[in-house]
Chain A
Amino acid sequence: MPDVKVPRRRVTRRTFVKAGVTAGAAAVLTSRKSTVQAQQPPAPPAEPVLCGTTPPVSPATTPFVDTLPVPSPAIPQFLVPFPTEQANIAGGEAARADHQRWLEFFPNILYQMEAKAAVHSFHSNLLPSYLWAFNGKYPAPTPLNYYGLPTLVRFKNNLPVATTSFGRNEITVHLHNGHTGSESDGFAGDFFGTSLFKDNHYANAYAGIDEFGGNGDQREAMRTFWFHDHRAAFTANNNYLGLNGMYIVYDENDPGHELPIGDTLRLPCYYGITDIPLILTDKRFCAAGNGRNELFQVVGAGAPGGDKWVVNGKIQPRMTVRRRKYRFRILNTGPVKTWALSLIKPDGTQADMTVVAVDANFLEHPFVLNNGPLTVFVASRYDVIIDFGAFPAGTQLYLKEATAQNVGVATPDPAPGLPIGNVLMRFDVVNREFWFPPDTPPVPGTLCQMPDPLVPDASFEWTFKLVTGRFLINDLEFDANRVDHVVLKGSTEEWTLANDVAAGNWTHPVHIHFEEGRIQSRRVRVSQNPDVFQNVPLTFDELGRRDVYPLPPQHRVVLRMRFRDFVGRYLIHCHNMNHEDAFMMVRWDIVETMEELSTKRREIDRRRLQAGLPPQYKGGLV
């Protein structure tokens, strides 16, 4: 086979024909565009030249020369071979359990996301950079979905067989935070290598399918998701290299248009026009001498901290906005940085941002943020509405980040008290043309109805500790292969997340797969020996539903969540990707029957007793 050994010469089409392998058969059935490509694969970009081990200062970039790009909507495709309930091993699919609820949610819409090497220009002043991207685009195209229309995304691995980058060419893609069967959830250990693919089946149904029937409980609606590689121990590397994108789901309340039809909230909702993703990350660049400004990366060192702030793949872009309301879906793709964002007026004071959704979930009531930053931890999403109609045409507003980036070009402060390094992007307000969608009505006072308060069947605690350099979870070594907790499908549990890690300044954004949680309370240890805890008031974004729970040092967060509709292996982990890769991650399973639950729990306790630890379960559902 051509890609078995490293050949001495370039593999050409003729070589393929000689080897008796053609892509002809597949080419006939695929779309017109890929027919041409299937005959001769375009050469991927040359592997990057790395720039040593000392973090360089990124080259200077002039602010506001690039306009904000918006990732294009993903185009549905006809997939060959057609997706099947069972893994299509012979056809090249990675091994997996069967898709759950396959016929019930038979995929209507199919997408293909091909992970491959690409080059991308982060700024007009910079040479292109090598990265890994879905369909060669960074950020990836955005699938636009509708509740009630199940989808399937085929993730193909066409990453390089050998690379000088610090990425790992095996992927497993997680939709954060989809209510997804375990076999499609991107479990960290289910990665697959080059030339293979895996179909992720997304029901696009609300949680509560068993209880409510049909598409589930509409009060569980979620809007802004993202998908990213989740390969164990290399998540930070692969995400830094660009393997992520946004995923949006609409329903009758948030329909993907702004017309007064049906039960819509009439929020700004024209994707790419008035409804704009803001995909945030930080990067560092070097002059590699190969016609590129490569991303700084060091093998084995985890994702480096950047000194350039990137929005939708550009550094300090500008965006023309009309005098009306816009919606911005803010997404922090990490790998590590936390953002503290505020909108600044030309006079240096803060302008209103109305938060309507937290981690994809509408707040019950919108929250107007105007006297402090919006803190966005890794993997969190915030949908905010900004009303540019409040400003005259010609106004320039700035999205500010609390930590300065390295601009490199001496630029006066764009607004009093706002150094240029703290500016993420600029909004240029213009009058609305007649052809531009008219403004939407005021944001409604009530956005959604929360699901019924959760009554737990059981409680459980996850304690993160650091003992003589060993990261421990519930006193056991982190081990993503081991199941550390098991819950019964359909049950409700109250989980306490405790940060007892002795490193005083690490806030861990803890993420739980599968369902959203409701935070009940938060407290912090204020002194030790004896332990004294103090209650911490919940912030506005903790009153609704979340899937990323920031855990500052010595904090305890109590949350409730359910485990409905699917079974399998799921994860809880710190979403600081460097920590995640250092095994700050645990597997928990959902099982179907009480019998399985008892069996698995007995095994867990038996293992703990063997290690000299107290049992986790005191008998029955504790």
Chain B
Amino acid sequence: MNRRELFSNFRPVWVPDEPIASCGSELYPNAVLQTHDGRSVRFYDDLLKGKQVVINMMYANCESLCSTVTSSLVKVHDALKARMGRDLHMYSISIKPEEDTPAALKSFAEMHNALLPGWTFLTGDAYDIDTIRFRLFRMNHIKLDTDLNSHTAMLRIINETTNTWTCVPPLASLYTVLQHISWADPPKSLEERLEDNKRLQQQIDKEVRQYGYRKIV
């Protein structure tokens, strides 16, 4: 089937004249935070605006959970290192800002081999950190939200230009974490998606031939 016939089956889609704007600063706090290397940054203007980001919360004196999460994030960083610092950014925000100075965060990051390009550790005023924490991670349940550990158990992925929010437990499989991050990627063109679709069908057919059923994809 040639390209012309291929697309004649599609109802032409009306596309807007202007790109859809992001929700902007109304949705995000714009407090000043400190990075692990001592810079001051604004949460919305400098960290989020126009970017795709992966955010988690941790604290430097965390027992096993934060370490496991950070190790998992190191693997995620490795898988996506071509994009880190360019069109994808990682932020780890301290959930105990009174304790975590930039220096404390830096040594935590060093200890976990997490001083990597495009990955910033952040701290700030308790008031601002709480605002950010609830805005990004709240579970709409007071008991859960007042347990600090609750908010360390999820990665929040935001694409500020397309207004896409997704989240994923950081301890899910690397495949699942990468998949959820990709859901916040800029949308692909129809051509690319049709190619992906064709490839997916080939993978499905291959699995069915090999295993008798659709096993993984």
Contact = CB atoms under 8 A, between A and B. Distances in A.
Are any A and B Cβ atoms less than 8 Å apart in their complex? yes
Interface in A255-306: 298-300, 302
A482 B173 contact: yes
A23 interface: yes
Most buried by A among B12, B143, B144, B164: B12
10 closest residue pairs by CB, A with B: A300-B165, A469-B150, A469-B153, A95-B201, A468-B149, A95-B200, A4-B189, A3-B13, A162-B20, A470-B153
A66 interface: no
A102 to B, nearest CB: 14
Interface in B108-138: 136
A445 interface: no
A23 B14 contact: no
A43 B169 CA distance: 39
A365 interface: no
A161 B158 CA distance: 18
Interface string A82-105: 000001011110111110000000
Contacts of A195: 10-11, 13, 190, 193
Most buried by A among B65, B204, B213: B213
Interface in B148-192: 149-154, 156, 158, 162-169, 171-173, 175-176, 179-180, 183, 187, 189-191
Interface in A8-26: 8-11, 16, 20-26
Given A470-B153, A568-B214, A300 B158 contact: yes
Most buried by A among B7, B19, B154: B7
A20 B4 CA distance: 7
B198 interface: yes
A233 B183 contact: yes
A21 B149 contact: no
B9 interface: yes
Contact of A568 (B21, B26, B158, B213): B213
B8 interface: yes
A47 interface: yes
Contacts of B5: 25
B180 A233 contact: yes
B39 interface: no
Interface string A539-583: 000000000000000000000000000011100000000100011
Interface residues of A, number: 86
A23 B11 contact: yes
Given A1-B189, A8-B17, A16-B12, A94 B197 contact: yes
Interface string B26-57: 11000000000000000000000000000000
A90 B136 CA distance: 41
Nearest to A24: B8
B141 A503 contact: yes
A258 to B, nearest CB: 40
Contacts of B23: 50, 164, 299
Contacts of A162: 16, 19-20, 162, 187
B172 to A, nearest CB: 5
A168 B1 CA distance: 31
Contacts of B11: 23, 26, 38, 41, 156, 158, 195
Nearest to B207: A97
Given A23-B8, A53-B26, A506 B20 contact: no
B201 A470 contact: no
Given A6-B15, A25-B8, A468 B27 contact: no
A196 interface: yes
A7 B14 CA distance: 10
Given A469-B151, A470-B169, A7 B15 contact: yes
Nearest to A4: B189
Contact of A567 (B7, B16, B175, B213): B213
A6 B189 CA distance: 10
Interface stretch (A319-327, A352-360, A426-434, A473-481): A473-481
B208 interface: yes
A81 interface: yes
B82 interface: no
B147 interface: yes
Contact of A583 (B21, B169, B183): B169
B1 A11 contact: no
Contacts of B211: 596
B140 interface: yes
B141 to A, nearest CB: 5
B213 A10 contact: no
A9 to B, nearest CB: 7
A1 B169 contact: no
Contacts of B17: 7-10
B149 A469 contact: yes
